[in-house]
Amino acid sequence: MADEGSLITDEMRTTIGVRSEPSFYEVDKLSVRMFARSVGHVDPIYFDEEEAKKAGYRSLPCPPGYLGTPVYDPRTSDPTFGGRRGGARAPEPSRPLKRILNGGTEIEYFEDICAGDTLEASSYTSDIQERKGGIGDMLITTSKTEYKRKGDGKVVAIMTGTGIRY
């Protein structure tokens, strides 16, 4: 049961650890090159496959921060964002605070991700906390997205995101 006066409801607590249906992301050479160029990477490993292979990669490696492009299927995908229509996550309970801040995103890599890979991503809420701060009550939600390489099933990355409602 929620503590008296707590912003965190029992309904919110039941979402912790519940995984979404998987979404799929493709990594192709064009997208690797476009992302690298857009963020200012100039290392030839992101543009020239021979350079990437000389450096020990299977193909062009994903630049930091790029984890593929959602696989778009007009029958099931959101027309604006490309992911699964209605979002990859299960509907979340309402939150009492409406203003939202991005509290940051971190990506932990476990394996190389290269052009030609397809990743299966599944997300879940890992923690919900409340705090009082200079802006008043805050609800801090941490979510994780686990990326597995399709084919061998290895976890290649985990992205942790923090959302702050106030």
List domains and CATH numbers for the chain: 10-22+92-165 (3.10.129.10)
Residue 117 CB-half CA count within 13 A? 27
Statement: the pTM of the whole predicted model exceeds 0.95: no
Q: Which amino acid is at 70?
A: P
Tokens of 65: 């921060």
In the predicted structure, residue 138 carries a pLDDT above the cut 50: yes
Question: In what order do the strands lie in the sheet containing 100-109?
Answer: 69-70, 23-26, 118-133, 136-149, 155-165, 100-109
Q: Could you read off the pLDDT of 85-135 as tens digits, one per residue?
A: 555 454 556 667 888 899 999 999 999 999 999 999 999 999 999 998 787
Average pLDDT value over all residues in the chain: 89
